[in-house]
Amino acid sequence: MSMSNTEKTVKDVRRKTRRKFSTEEKIRIVLDGLHGECSVAELCRKEGVNPNLYYRCNKDLLEAGKKRLSGDTVYRLKSGSER
């Protein structure tokens, strides 16, 4: 099964116009969802985010926080500074 030229063109346009969110934007959106002031579906519509992306970012953020709090991450101290 091969795609028609129209289908290929549509896929190419979608790829090129896909919105990219910065790390800060993703964190802000996830934190807004965790505040619970509105539903996740409503937040995603307002921000123009696919709910799947929201839940994946939410999971990544929580796992990163869990990893950080469990002490799995090693930080190098600069000489002369203390934590």
Residue 31 inside a domain? The answer is: yes
Q: Is residue 5 part of a domain?
A: no
Angle subtended at Cα 78 by Cα 77 and Cα 83, rounded to the nearest 5 degrees: 45
Q: Which of 18, 53, 59, 56 minimizes the C-alpha distance to 45?
A: 53
Dihedral over Cα of 29, 48, 44, 58: its sign: negative
Instruction: List the domain range (segments joined by +) for residue 48.
Output: 20-67
**Stated pTM of the model:** 0.64
Of the candidates 60, 59, 41, 58, the residue with the CA atom closest to the CA atom of residue 50: 41
57, part of any domain: yes
Q: Is residue 4 included in any domain, yes or no? A: no
Domains identified in the chain, total number = 1
1-25 tens-digit pLDDT: 567 888 888 887 777 777 888 999 9
Domain membership of residue 62 (yes or no) is: yes
In a domain, 82, yes or no: no
What pLDDT does 67 receive? Answer: 87
Task: Please check whether residue 83 lies inside any domain of the structure.
Answer: no
User: 38 is written with which tokens?
Assistant: 């509105």
3-state DSSP assignment of residue 79: coil
Is 81 a member of any domain? no
